[in-house]
Amino acid sequence: MKSADIYFEFVDPTHISSYNPNYYYFKVFIFQKLIEVLNISSLSSKKIILGVSGSIASYKAIELLRLLISEGARVNVAMSINATKFITPLTFEALSGNSVYSQVFNSNTSLLMEHIQISKAADLLLIAPATAGIIGKVANGIVDDALSNLYVSYSGPTLVAPAMNDAMYANPAVKLNIVKMKDRGIQFIEPEHGELACGSIGQGRLAEPLNILETVKKILNSKKDFHGLRVLVTAGPTQESLDPVRFITNPSSGKMGYAVACAARDRGANVTLISGPCHLTVPAGLSFISCRTAIEMNQHVEKHFLDCNVLIMSAAVGDFAPIQIEKEKIKKKNKSILTLELLPTEDILKNIIRLKTKQFVVGFAAESENLTQSALEKLRNKDLDLIVANDISSPGVGFQSDSNQVTLIKRNEEIEKLPTLPKIEIADILLNVIRPSLSGFSSNS
C-alpha cells in the first residue's frame, strides 16, 4: 500500500470543505477519539436515562439532552404524563435518536416492557427537572405513569434535579420525601435561588444544565480505587436492655457510618456494614448485618475482621450495660430513686486490634471537650492507624445531622482539620486519606 492510500483512508481534512457534511462528522469523530485517547472525563459509552417530569423547566431538559449527547452519552428519555403537556415526546425522540418512553401501555407490542429493557442497561437515571410530584412518587413507591414505572424497575445510581416553586420546595412533606430518597442513596443537585416562573424569588430554579452535566460526569467517572478491597464498617448506636421495654442508648443516627459504607461501595469496595438500630434505609450493593447490643456488634466484627482490609469503627458503641436485665418491667411503685448497676462493655476496637495483621483500622472519637488531646489519647491507647475526631457539642453537626466537622489524626500524629461538610463528602475524604496506605494490597489480598 502506498503512503498516499493511507493518507486517503484516514480522510484528509484539507480535502473536506466546511460545506461538506462529512466535515461535521469528521470533527465529531476526531473530538471523540481525542477524548478516548486522552481519557478526558467524558460520557462516551455511558447509557443514561433522562427522566423528564412536568414543569415549566422541562424545556431545559432539551439543552441537557444536547449536552449529554455532545459528551458521547447514549440517552433514552422517559417522560411523566405532565411532561408531555410541556414538550412533545417527538422533540426528545428526534434529538436523542431513540424512542421516548412516555406511555406505559404502548400499542406497539415490540415496545412492551420497554422500561425494563431501558432500565437494565442504564448507568444512571437522571431526573431533571424533578417536580414535587415525581419526588413524592419516587420517595413512596407510587407508580402511575411511564416515568414512575421506569423508576421502580431501575436499581442503579440516580441523580435528581428538583425544580418547583420556592414554597413547594420548602414544604415539610417535600423535604421529608427528599430525606427519604437521600437515605436510599439517591443523589440530588440542589435547585438554584432566583426568579421563578410564578414571579416569586426563592430557591426552586432547576440547576443550570452545565452544572447538572458536571455532576453526571462526576458520578459516572468516579474512581474505583477500592476495587477488590474488603471494607468493614460499623455504624449507629447500640442498645442495652434494662428490662423488657427499656434500654440505654445514645442519639447516633448512623448517617456517618452509612455514608462511609456507601462511598466505599461506590469506589468499588466489597463492603460489609454492621449496623446498630437506625432508622436509615439499608443501602443496596453491600452486605448488611443488623445488631443491637455491644456484645452482638463485637461478635460480628470479630467474625469479619480477619477477612477485611479496612475496618472503620464509626459506631457509637455503648460503654456500659446493666449487670442484669430484669425479666419483668421495672415498676416505679415504692421507688423514690432507681439505682442502676452498670458494667463496662467490651471495647471492640481494643479487642480486635490484638488480631490485627494487615488491616488498616480507623476509630472515631466523639468528644465534648479537649477534642484533639482526647482523640490523640484514643489513637495511641487503641493502637489505631487513624482516628476521626468530632466535637459533639458543636451545634448543627455530628449526631443526627447530615453534616459534620471532623479532625483526622493519623498514626504519625499528623493532624488535619476539615471544614464543616456533608457526611458523604467527609466519607470520600476519609477514603482518600486511607487509600495510599493500602497500596501494598493487591486485589482480594
List the catalytic residue out of 198, 278, 291, 308: 198
Residue type at position 330: I
Interaction between residue 239 and ligand CTP (CB under 6 A): no
From the list 82-90, 113-121, 209-217, 342-350, the region that binds ligand CTP by CB under 6 A is 342-350
Structure-derived torsion over alpha carbons of residues 323, 328, 331, 334, reported in degrees to the nearest 10: -80
Is 77 or 388 the residue whose CB approaches ligand CTP more closely?
A: 388
How far is C-alpha 26 from the geometric centre of its chain's CA atoms?
A: 38
Q: Write down the least CB distance from residue 122 to ligand CTP, Å.
A: 38
Q: Write down the least CB distance from residue 247 to ligand CTP, Å.
A: 16
**Residues contacting ligand CTP: total by CB under 6 A:** 14
Is 175 or 350 the residue whose CB approaches ligand CTP more closely?
A: 350
Is 48 or 365 the residue whose CB approaches ligand CTP more closely?
A: 365
From the list 70-78, 97-105, 218-226, 360-368, the region that binds ligand CTP by CB under 6 A is 360-368
Name residues contacting ligand CTP, limited to 301-320 (CB under 6 A): 313, 315, 317, 319
Distance between CA atoms of residues 50 and 52, nearest Å: 6
Interaction between residue 366 and ligand CTP (CB under 6 A): yes
Q: Which residues pair with 287 in a beta bridge?
A: 272
Run of H or E residues at 322: strand 320-322
Q: Does the annotation count 198 as an active-site position?
A: yes
Among 347, 383, 402, 425, binds ligand CTP (CB under 6 A): 347
CB atoms within 10 A of CB 220: 20
Which 8-state DSSP code applies to residue 172? H
Among 77, 186, 294, 434, binds ligand CTP (CB under 6 A): 294
Residue type at position 121: A
Distance between CA atoms of residues 433 and 416, nearest Å: 10
Q: Write down the least CB distance from residue 175 to ligand CTP, Å.
A: 30
Q: Write down the least CB distance from residue 362 to ligand CTP, Å.
A: 8
* DSSP string for residues in 252-282: --SHHHHHHHHHHHHTT-EEEEEE-S-SSPP
Among 130, 311, 349, 409, binds ligand CTP (CB under 6 A): 349
Q: Write down the least CB distance from residue 245 to ligand CTP, Å.
A: 24
For residue 244, whether the previous peptide bond is cis, meaning omega lies within 30 degrees of 0, is no
Give residue for cell 427499656: 246
Among 102, 239, 345, 404, binds ligand CTP (CB under 6 A): 345
Strand, helix or coil for residue 404: strand
Distance between CA atoms of residues 150 and 153, nearest Å: 5
Q: Write down the least CB distance from residue 312 to ligand CTP, Å.
A: 8
Distance between CA atoms of residues 410 and 388, nearest Å: 9
Among 364, 391, 423, 427, binds ligand CTP (CB under 6 A): 364
Interaction between residue 57 and ligand CTP (CB under 6 A): no
From the list 211-219, 332-340, 343-351, 396-404, the region that binds ligand CTP by CB under 6 A is 343-351
C-alpha count within 13 angstroms, C-beta hemisphere, residue 297:
30
Is 132 or 388 the residue whose CB approaches ligand CTP more closely?
A: 388
From the list 3-11, 176-184, 357-365, 425-433, the region that binds ligand CTP by CB under 6 A is 357-365
Enumerate the H helices of 1-131 as residue ranges.
3-9, 21-38, 60-70, 83-86, 89-96, 114-121
Strand, helix or coil for residue 320: strand
Strand, helix or coil for residue 304: helix
From the list 21-29, 344-352, 410-418, 432-440, the region that binds ligand CTP by CB under 6 A is 344-352
Interaction between residue 129 and ligand CTP (CB under 6 A): no
Interaction between residue 273 and ligand CTP (CB under 6 A): no
Run of H or E residues at 166: helix 166-170
The closest alpha carbon to 386, from 355, 411, 417, belongs to 411
- At 12, give phi and psi (nearest 5°): -75, 115
Is 206 or 235 the residue whose CB approaches ligand CTP more closely?
A: 235
Catalytically annotated residues? 198
Interface contacts to ligand CTP, rule CB under 6 A = 294, 313, 315, 317, 319, 345, 347-349, 363-366, 378
